[in-house]
Amino acid sequence: MINSSQTLFFDRIVDQISEIGLDFHVNNIFQHAEKNSADVKRSIKQLPALKGNKARTGIVISAGPSLRKKNSIQRIFDSDYQGSIIAIDAAYIACLKAGLIPDYVVTMDPNPTRMVRWFGDHDFEKNTGNDDYYTRQDLDVDFRRNSQEQNRRHIELVNQHGPLSKAIIATSAPRNVVTRIKEARLDMYWWNPLMDDPTRQGSLTRRLYEMNGLPCINTGGNVGTTAWIFANSVLKLPRVAIVGMDLGYYMDTPIEMTQTYYELIHHLGGRENIKGCFKEYEFPLDQQKYYTDPTYFWYRKNLLEMLERAPGKTVNCTEGGTLFGPHIECVRLDRFLEESAHG
Amino acid sequence: MEDNLLKGNFEVKKPIKLGDQEKEKSVGEELKKRALGTLGGSMVYMERKHFTWDGDE
């Protein structure tokens, strides 16, 4: 893990992430937004107003390794929680398998081959190819097994329950994701990802807005943070809990199994400095150590910045990971569920 | 030296298209870009006061 002399090196990588992301995503975002325009019928501004318990609290379900280790979805289902459930795309099938139907499923990543798997992929073999992305997903061993049979089951599950959830979908989503969501009959509510300062001349965000007139959301760099912003600032829920938002890894996860391990080696030009790319944190609730890589560190930094300015209260019920700070309280999921049940 | 000796000694059956080399180079660049892309997160982020924007600022 990182030592003090490696901090500068780590920070230098983190500083480059925004630029790498913009450079990588910008063409896909505009191409996808253009192709998706014919399917844009409703924006997130047209979502029906929330009532009763659904308007009081919400749980954002992200897809970090704790979701499985802590059995978070099953515990939410067993508690008969009545508030809003906002799942990210990667957690959607895990929710359905537990019998928990999310009110909203958030998706935005423009990756043309990987994201469709979260809804069941008709081109499973072609899109899986030599890509080991799913073998580095901790959420669900079914996704690691790469089995056709599992994929078929996922397609059926999503087709069966799709009409009960609303897709909160970015115009940057790839066509195969849009087609799958349409096929499974989730109602689609659209938005644009915010990419830069829209008040500046030549802004890419403004260009996107002028194409389709959809509201823009600052994503924090990942779909988990977007789901939280959606709950906090679009649904305007006064109290939001987050589960599965590890933004890091358990200490027994080998660094070779981390999400950007090979990308980091590529970026560094070798394995020599690879250990300096991982930073340890002690989670306050269990006093256990977890570690993070530059990309998750960047997500963490962005989310903590946003939490500072966020209205409403957010509690982290992940029960592990690296997300803690002065503007987010870490509490046990059971405590949140109990408090929510009593208003 | 070796290059000069070989030059003009034989004729290749299949003409070499320089375009193919260019294509290989651009595939390599594309793979490199794709690899780095994952490092750049799922989406762009910029630090600003408001979380949403609807053309009204």
Closest among A237, A193, A188 to A215, alpha carbons compared: A193
Distance set, CA A23 to CA A154, B37, B53, B57 (Å)? 33, 8, 22, 26
Distance set, CA A93 to CA A24, A60, A150, A240, B31 (Å)? 28, 15, 11, 22, 30
A265 — pLDDT class (breaks 50, 70, 90): confident
Which chain B residues have a beta carbon less than 8 Å from that of A221? 41-45
Displacement of CA A324 from its chain's centroid (Å): 17
* A302 near B CB under 8 A: yes
* A213 near B CB under 8 A: yes
pTM for the model:
0.88
Q: Which two tokens stand for residue A42?
A: 């409703």
pLDDT of residue B47 exceeding 90, the answer is no
* CA distance to partner chain B, nearest, from residue A135 (Å): 15
pLDDT of residue A205 exceeding 70, the answer is yes
> How many Cβ atoms are within 10 Å of A216's Cβ, its own excluded?
23
What is the C-alpha to C-alpha distance for residues A104 and A235, in angstroms, rounded to an integer?
A: 11
DSSP, residue by residue, chain B:
-HHHHHTTS---SSPPPHHHHHHHHHHHHHHHHHHHHHHT-SS-----S-SEE-S--
pLDDT in tens, A17-63: 888 888 888 889 999 999 999 999 999 999 999 999 999 999 999 99
Where does residue A16 rank: exposed (0-12), middle (13-18), buried (19+ CB within 10 A)? middle
Among A68-72, A166-170, A175-179, B3-7, where is mean pLDDT lowest?
Answer: B3-7
**In the Cβ-directed half-sphere of B20, how many Cα atoms lie within 13 Å?**
4
pLDDT of residue A142 exceeding 70, the answer is no
Mean pLDDT rounded to a whole number for chain A: 92
pLDDT of residue B2: 44
What is the C-alpha to C-alpha distance for residues A206 and A19, in angstroms, rounded to an integer?
A: 19
pLDDT of residue A290: 97
What is the C-alpha to C-alpha distance for residues A236 and A232, in angstroms, rounded to an integer?
A: 5
- Cβ A69 vs Cβ A321: under 8 Å: no
Number of inter-chain CB pairs under 8 A, A vs B: 131
pLDDT of residue A53: 96
CB pair distance less than 8 Å for B45 and A310 = no
pLDDT of residue B54 exceeding 80, the answer is yes
pLDDT of residue B1 exceeding 50, the answer is no
pLDDT of residue B3: 45
Which chain A residues have a beta carbon less than 8 Å from that of B55? 198, 206, 209, 213
pLDDT in tens, A243-252: 999 999 999 9
ipTM: 0.88
pLDDT of residue A263: 83
Which chain B residues have a beta carbon less than 8 Å from that of A263? 35-36, 38-39
A5 — pLDDT class (breaks 50, 70, 90): low
* CA distance to partner chain A, nearest, from residue B44 (Å): 5
B33 — pLDDT class (breaks 50, 70, 90): low
B19 — pLDDT class (breaks 50, 70, 90): low
Among A41-45, A83-87, A204-208, where is mean pLDDT lowest?
Answer: A204-208
